[in-house]
Structure 1
Amino acid sequence: MFKRFLFMLMGVIAIHSASAQEGFKLGLQAGLPTGDFNERIGVVVGGDLGYMWAPNKTFDLGIKAGIIHGFAEEYREGTILEDLPSYQFAPLAASFRIWPGKKFSFGGDVGQAFGLNEGNDGGLYIRPQLGFQVGPQSEVNFSYTSIDVNEEKWSTITLAYVYTFLSARHFR
């Protein structure tokens, strides 16, 4: 029941953000697992949709929702081939970015990652990032993702491309 409530809340936030039309960020990332899931997961892909406010030129604050999919490795012991399960998460997080210069940012996301596959309860989601602006509306960022999953730690290193949609007020 609680998970359904949180998913509904995430949907309401996404819809509210979509109607606000101020500063959307769409990100696509790919990466590699480290730590506890390194031998079970081969590669990780994901996507984010976020809404960022810029109260001043050096600080951004916002919300972000996304999806993370970890593709399972095949495990072979002798002649037996075992398919390990893939892992999926739906993170919902608060985001912040600090821009010490025009082309460089650092910051992070903190929130909850909801487990989407069987036996995956999800957990605390932390994602520190370094970003480099590569165009007027785009950036590349490097991040480390950490999710507490049951008694284990999901951790990945990822590379992402982020595109910022201009708001309606920029076209006036």
Structure 2
Amino acid sequence: MKKLLLLTALVVLSFTTAQSQNFNIGVSGSLPVGDSADGYTFGAQLDFSYLFDINDSFYVGPMASLFYYNGDEIDTPIGTFEVDSAVFLPIGGSARFMLEEFFFGADLGYGIGISPDGNDGGFFYRPKVGYSFGTVAAILSYSGVSVDGGTFSSVNVGVEFGL
């Protein structure tokens, strides 16, 4: 009987907790800026977050992303060379403050460098603002990964789907 009572309590708690969590998947187009604009033409981002509501307006939780920056061809007096595409896997935390349909947020963490060889990654940050249309949101953000010798940064426009 105690096991049944404990199991029932766990099931009820899990449903209660599940109602206060938000799983989000986002996709964005990126325009490299700053140091990144010299060797990269465009980028794309795929984002995942799982947010817990702290109160009616404030949400926090873990996040992960995949950033891709397309390498450019650069003409020099001694010839043309191709810049290898760069890929990062940022992992960290996300926070969001809701004001009715508008929201402001930030993601912070570490961007693991996946390619090219020698990309060791670095500190990742992304302030963002968005407008929620219910389960879909439009997002404008600036993202950066601080690496040795510069920063991979971009301005991003995308959509996010709440599941």
User: TM-score category by the smaller chain?
Assistant: 0.7 to 0.9
Secondary structure at 2:38 match in 1:
coil
Shift of 1:55: 2.1
Shift of 1:54: 1.1
**2: CA distance, partners of 1:66 / 1:147:** 12
Aligned partner of 1:109: which letter? Answer: D
**2: CA distance, partners of 1:161 / 1:55:** 24
Shift of 1:81: 2.4
Shift of 1:151: 2.1
Aligned partner of 1:85: which letter? Answer: D
Aligned partner of 1:106: which letter? Answer: F
Shift of 1:87: 0.5
Match of 1:30 in 2: 29
Q: Give the aligned length.
A: 144
**2: CA distance, partners of 1:66 / 1:153:** 17
Mapping 1:1-172, distance limit 5 Å: 22-78=21-77, 80-99=79-98, 101-117=99-115, 118-133=117-132, 135-165=133-163
TM-score (norm 1): 0.79
**2: CA distance, partners of 1:80 / 1:146:** 30
**2: CA distance, partners of 1:147 / 1:78:** 31
Aligned partner of 1:89: which letter? Answer: F
Secondary structure at 2:54 match in 1:
strand
Greater C-alpha radius of gyration: 2
- Structure 1 residue ranges (4+ consecutive) displaced by more than 4 angstroms after TM superposition: none
**2: CA distance, partners of 1:33 / 1:41:** 7
Gaps of 5+ in 1: 1-19, 166-172
Q: Deviations over 1:31-81 (max 9, x none)?
A: 111111211000010101110111221101111111000001111235832
**2: CA distance, partners of 1:55 / 1:138:** 21
**2: CA distance, partners of 1:107 / 1:49:** 14
Secondary structure at 2:66 match in 1:
strand
**2: CA distance, partners of 1:81 / 1:127:** 33
**2: CA distance, partners of 1:114 / 1:40:** 20
Q: Deviations over 1:70-106 (max 9, x none)?
A: 001111235832111110000001000011x211000
Secondary structure at 1:36 match in 2:
helix
